[in-house]
Amino acid sequence: MILRLNHVALAVPDLAAAAAFYRRSLGAEVSGPTPLPAPGVTTVFVTLANTRIELLEPLGPHSPIQAFLDRNPAGGMHHVCYEVADLAAAGHQVLCVDSAAPDRRAYKLRPDLGRVLAAGTKLPRVAADLVVVVADGLSALAVQRHAVPLLVALRPLLNRWRFAPVVIARQGRVALGDAVALAMGTASVLVLIGERPGLSAPDSMGAYMTWRPAAATTDAERNCVSNIRPDGLAPADAAHRVGWLLTEMRRRDASGVALKDAAGEPARIAPPIP
């Protein structure tokens, strides 16, 4: 079921001129430009009372936005992003698994159990580049609210990637994603997980990415994007960051400390997970 319109994306030949029009002529709130090498685009968001407009300008020689503008020199609507109620409605096949933690008490007292699949778990082998694991972690509320919007925004950014079915993991921790990826045979894993609730943020979600995960993968071999929530890093904005990191992982055949972000600084490394 469609819930609401998240944003309308417009491809424009001149991003600065388009942003100035919305800011000066229409008095709208306009963000600064954000270059996104992964999808080959520079974006600006125009915030309205009930939705947003995303302005897109080509970035790099192989940008799909340039191909769009070659066909439509004056620009035009590139895509519409809706928020949906569940993953199936967003076009994702879904599988469900349990960790070895039989209940919440065991999950908290035995962190190791949350890192491995329950005995007898069988997952299909797939020809895919990425498996997304959605785990309750320490805040099921966070993934309930923010996992779907992030995935809806991420899928178009990785339109050349083969996605495995999304795996919903109960009583799961970050390293459970390694076991899922190994079982399914994917090259990478993205774990969306509820972070430890803070005093002001009970619904903060983290996104943990690992390239070529293995049984002995360490936290230093992961990258993360944290504080994903509307009052922190909005899910749609986090999707751009996640998309860039995943694309760079595949290009460099590495993740974690081996990866640097677009600014030339070390990408945030996943903190130790209890």
Domain boundaries, the chain: 2-84, 94-258
Chain center to CA of 159: 13
Which residue, chain included where needed, has tokens 């974006």? 43
Chain center to CA of 210: 13
**Residue, of 2 and 126, whose pLDDT is higher:** 126
Which residue, chain included where needed, has tokens 């002529």? 25
CATH number for domain 94-258, candidates 3.40.50.11240, 1.10.10.10, 3.30.360.10, 3.40.630.30: 3.40.50.11240
Using the 8-state DSSP alphabet, how is residue 135 labeled?
E
Question: What is the 3 state secondary structure string of 63-83?
Answer: CHHHHHHHHCCCCEEEEEEEE
What is the C-alpha to C-alpha distance for residues 219 and 100, in angstroms, rounded to an integer? 20
Confidence of residue 260 (pLDDT cuts 50, 70, 90): low
* Reduced DSSP (H G I as helix, E B as strand, rest coil) percent helix, strand, coil of the chain, to 5: 30, 30, 40
Name, of 15-19, 30-34, 265-269, the range with top average pLDDT.
15-19
φ/ψ (deg, to 5) at 113: -70, -30
Closest CA to 190 of 135, 138, 252: 135
Confidence of residue 263 (pLDDT cuts 50, 70, 90): very low
SS3 264: coil
**Residue, of 59 and 40, whose pLDDT is higher:** 59
pTM of the model: 0.69
66: left (phi over 0), alpha (psi -120 to 50) or beta: alpha
CB 206 within 8 A of CB 224: yes
What is the C-alpha to C-alpha distance for residues 241 and 263, in angstroms, rounded to an integer? 12
Q: What is the pLDDT, as a whole number, of residue 269?
A: 41
**Token pair recorded at residue 76:** 């035009």
What is the C-alpha to C-alpha distance for residues 12 and 66, in angstroms, rounded to an integer? 10
Fold exhibited by the domain 2-84: 2,3-Dihydroxybiphenyl 1,2-Dioxygenase; domain 1 (3.10.180)
- Counting other chains too, the contacts that 18-21 makes at CB distance below 8 Å and 24 or more residues apart are 18/44, 18/55, 18/75, 19/44, 19/46, 19/55
Model pLDDT for residues 65-74, shown as the tens digit of each residue: 888 888 889 9
Average pLDDT on 54-81 reads 85
CB 141 within 8 A of CB 204: no
Average pLDDT on 185-204 reads 86
Q: What is the pLDDT, as a whole number, of residue 113?
A: 95
Please return the burial class of 170, using the count of CB atoms within 10 Å of its CB with bins 0-12, 13-18 and 19+: middle
Mean pLDDT of the chain: 85
Residue 119 CA: distances (Å) to CA of 116, 133, 195, 224, 267: 9, 18, 26, 28, 35
Confidence of residue 88 (pLDDT cuts 50, 70, 90): low
